[in-house]
Every structure is written in structure tokens, then in C-alpha cells.
């Protein structure tokens, strides 16, 4: 796969009991998985909208669970790759390393938990990478919804307390120690807890995770 820009979506293949586990008390296992699927498909649509305005980019979906064939049956005919083993940092590092090894000059990684992420924000991330080493999209919960880089810096993915409110601060500290220039985008909200659900449902135009779009 060629192209100077690579957009990578990290997501989990639908599996009841393993998707959006912190929302299971509010939604049940089926409801949490249904919302996860809505979020993933919404993110893929946003990514495709970005590709329409940035055709030199390539899109990859890296799946935790399932097979690439199952991923394409779920999300459509897009490039699906199985995630490696390890914690989130190790998996993101491996995804970025593979993209750079195949000729990417700029790599941006996003998840599927941020329905307010728009194609214009993704475009801003790639634009910032023309002048900055790293770009981060900070989340309101202390993590980040986007990370981009001009080359692979493994130190950005090690020693991070993934899933905690310290992720952004620890990543910024690692970048500072490595003397990297970091650009930050606007703060956005992830969907992680029951308190996040009303805004997520409004963004996805849902009255419940099972309702139609």
C-alpha cells in the first residue's frame, strides 16, 4: 500500500461482553455492543468523508478480534488488519510501524469512541504534521482520541497508564523528554461512562443504541 498519509482506525470486532464494558451496567451486554457497532461505523464514515477531501491518504482498520474477512463483512470493503498482541500502546506502535514500513510519511491513529470527531479535524491533524513532529487530539477524560506522527517514536507508547486519566499528560511528558514538537487539536469527549451517553446518542441521532439512524 502506497501513499504519503495513512489513517489508522483501531477498534474491536463486535463480541458481546467485550465491547464498551464500562457501559454494560447501563446498557446491558447487547446494548453496549450495539453502541460499539454504531460508533465504529460512524467513525468509518467520517474517515471515508476525510478521504474524499484528502485522496492521497490510505485507510486501514486494525481489528482486535475477528478476521480481516469478518471485518470487511462488518464495515465494508476497506483494508482490515488484525491487531498484534500486547497492551494498547504496543498495538498502536505496531500499527504505526507497519504503516511507516510500507511507505507512509505521516500516520494518524484514531479510535472509535469519539463521535464528535469530524473529517475536518482529521485533516487538521495531517496538516499539523507538516510542521510538527507529533499531533495529539486531547480527550476531556485525560486521554486522547487521536495521535499522529511524522515517524515512529516508540517512547510515546511505553510507560503509559492506558485507560487512565493520565494518558495525555504522560504522553506529553514522553514527547517533551524526547524533545519532540507537539501540536494539540481541540478537546473532544469520548464515550466511556454512562454519563457520556446522552451526548453520544444525540451525536449519533439515536434515542437508544438499538434505534435506527
| Cα atoms in the Cβ-side hemisphere of radius 13 Å centred on 49 | 12
* pLDDT for res 210: 45
Count CB neighbours of 1 within 10 A: 12
Mean pLDDT computed over 27-48: 95
- Which strands sit side by side in the sheet containing 144-149, from one edge to the other? 79-82, 57-64, 5-12, 106-110, 144-149, 134-138, 182-184
* CB-CB contact of 11 with 43 (8 Å): yes
Reported residue count of the chain is 213
pLDDT-derived band at 182, boundaries 50, 70, 90: very high
> What are the structural domains of the chain?
5-203 (3.90.550.10)
Q: Is 11 helix (H, G, I), strand (E, B) or coil?
A: strand
* CB-CB contact of 192 with 112 (8 Å): no
Please tell me the least confidently modeled range out of 11-25, 90-104, 133-147.
11-25
Per residue in 85-125, pLDDT (tens digit) is: 999 999 999 999 999 999 999 999 999 999 999 999 999 99
- pLDDT(62) > 70: yes
- pLDDT(18) > 60: yes
Q: Is 104 helix (H, G, I), strand (E, B) or coil?
A: coil
Q: What Cα–Cα distance (Å) separates residue 190 from each residue in 5, 17, 134, 162, 185? A: 25, 20, 21, 14, 14
- pLDDT(211) > 90: no
Q: Cell for 104?
A: 507512509
pLDDT-derived band at 212, boundaries 50, 70, 90: very low
Which residues partner with 39 through β-bridges?
none
* pLDDT for res 39: 96
Non-local CB neighbours of 90 within 8 Å, separated by 6+ positions: 84, 157
Non-local CB neighbours of 212 within 8 Å, separated by 6+ positions: none
- pLDDT(208) > 80: no
User: pTM of the prediction?
Assistant: 0.93
Amino acid at each position: 500500500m502506497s501513499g504519503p498519509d495513512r489513517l489508522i482506525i483501531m477498534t474491536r470486532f463486535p463480541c458481546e461482553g467485550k465491547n464498551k464494558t464500562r457501559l454494560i451496567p447501563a446498557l446491558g451486554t447487547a446494548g453496549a455492543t450495539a453502541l460499539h457497532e454504531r460508533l465504529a461505523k460512524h467513525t468509518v464514515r467520517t474517515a471515508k468523508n476525510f478521504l474524499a477531501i484528502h485522496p492521497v491518504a490510505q485507510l486501514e482498520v486494525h481489528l482486535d478480534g475477528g478476521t480481516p474477512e469478518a471485518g470487511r463483512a462488518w464495515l465494508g470493503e476497506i483494508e482490515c488488519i488484525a491487531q498484534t498482541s500486547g497492551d494498547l500502546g504496543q498495538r498502536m506502535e505496531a500499527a504505526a510501524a507497519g504503516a511507516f514500513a510500507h511507505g507512509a510519511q505521516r500516520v494518524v491513529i484514531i479510535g472509535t469512541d469519539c463521535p464528535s470527531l469530524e473529517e475536518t479535524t482529521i485533516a487538521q491533524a495531517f496538516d499539523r504534521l507538516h510542521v510538527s513532529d507529533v499531533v495529539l487530539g486531547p480527550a476531556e477524560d485525560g486521554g486522547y482520541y487521536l495521535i499522529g506522527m511524522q515517524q515512529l517514536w516508540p517512547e510515546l507508547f511505553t510507560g503509559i497508564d492506558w485507560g487512565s486519566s493520565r494518558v495525555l499528560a504522560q504522553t506529553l511528558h514522553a514527547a517533551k523528554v524526547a524533545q519532540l514538537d507537539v501540536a494539540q487539536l481541540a478537546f473532544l469527549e469520548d464515550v466511556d461512562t454512562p454519563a457520556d451517553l446522552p451526548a453520544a446518542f444525540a451525536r449519533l441521532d439515536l434515542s437508544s443504541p438499538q434505534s435506527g439512524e
